[in-house]
Amino acid sequence: MENIRLEYRGETAVLTVDRPKALNALNSATLREMEEALSLLEEQKDLRTVIVTGGGEKSFVAGADISEMVNASAPEGREMALLAKRCFERLEQMPVVTIAAVNGYALGGGCELAMACDIRVAAENAIFGQPECGLGILPGFGGTQRLARLVGKGLAKELIFTCRRIDAQEACRIGLVNQVVPQTELLESCLAMAEEIGRSAPLGVAYAKQAINAGLDIDLDSGLQMEANLFGLAFATQDKHEGMTAFLEKRKEKHFSGQ
Ligand code: DAK
């Protein structure tokens, strides 16, 4: 892979979009490599967390590649949209937790990539925005849907209609990112959060992620029903037995097997 790097730190994988000449902008080749990387990650047995970040210190992902889009025909545009849709949905639905480590510009498709992750941690220099309306298009990698779900309809509309860029602190204030940390501490902070998540039971986390993701798309009653079903499934796991037994035995050490 040329533009995507995969590294492993214990039970955490770090997926880096690394295309410095275009500030990590996503072209079709990079999206195809991302799909390949996701296939590799899906096969990893002991994986608990995936951190998604950008190469270099200036940019997370500066959007979809404008130089590729400028002359794209309608069928080519559609092909690119379907490729990105597949990629982002796979990322969003991974049973393991995904954390976007936003280390600079997260514009357009870059902001949308961060939003497809479960959690966003931003470096102090991170800049977010959806500039698509200024380019004659609209957010097409899920931005209109995921931004509104994260920050609410009114703010999402304002940010998308004005193409205004916001800094990390504002992104945190409106709920687009979970926390802001100094740039030099970004990866370490994400790894520390990954370690914290790694202490929870894998299936408990996977079921909770499934319930939260799907729950926001359905009515409350159906969401509660789904939660009850997943709760029931959790009772069939070895980890439920281990977690509760450890509590009753006043044991700090738990031995979750992921089963
Ligand atoms: N695409 C291609 N190249 C890019 C790029 C991008 N998005 N962003 C930056 N680059 C390239 C620049 O052209 C420049 O290349 P050279 O001139 O050196 O060859 C190099 O990266 C460095 O950029 P700058 O010289 O501009 O660096 P600055 O520090 O001055 O500015 C910047 C950084 C991030 C503010 C600026 O580069 C910028 O505004 N970039 C564009 C940001 C943007 O508008 N991104 C949103 C793209 S629209 C679709 C669905 C979704 C989408 C598309 C299709 N379908 C349904 C089909 C999504 C659309 C978008 O994401």
Residue-wise pLDDT for 35-74, tens only, equals 999 999 999 989 999 999 999 999 999 999 999 989 988 8
Least confident of 157-161, 226-230, 232-236, 255-259: 255-259
User: Which residue CA neighbors atom 42 of ligand 1 most closely?
Assistant: 62
Neighbours of 225 (CB within 10 A): 12
3, 23, 79, 107: residue to mutate for ligand 1 pocket, most atoms within 8 A of CB: 23
> Cβ(115) to ligand 1 under 6 A?
no
pLDDT at 6: 98
- Does residue 254 carry a pLDDT above 90? no
Q: What are phi and psi of 226, to 5 degrees?
A: -65, -40
As a whole number, mean pLDDT of residues 110-117 equals: 98
Residue where the block lists tokens 């931003």: 122
The DSSP secondary structure of 176-225, one letter per residue, reads: SSSEEE-GGGHHHHHHHHHHHHHTS-HHHHHHHHHHHHHHTTS-HHHHHH
Check if 142 has its Cβ closer than 6 Å to any atom of ligand 1: no
Q: Would the pLDDT of 252 be above 90? A: no
Residues identified as active-site: 112, 132
Q: Report d(CA 228, CA 235) in Å as an integer.
A: 11
Measured CA distances, 163 to 63, 81, 150, 177, 193 (Å): 13, 20, 17, 18, 31
pLDDT of residue 192: 98
- Whether the CB-CB separation of 86 and 38 falls below 8 Å is answered with no
> Degrees (nearest 5) of the Cα angle 173, 175, 176?
110
105 vs 257: CA distance, rounded Å:
38
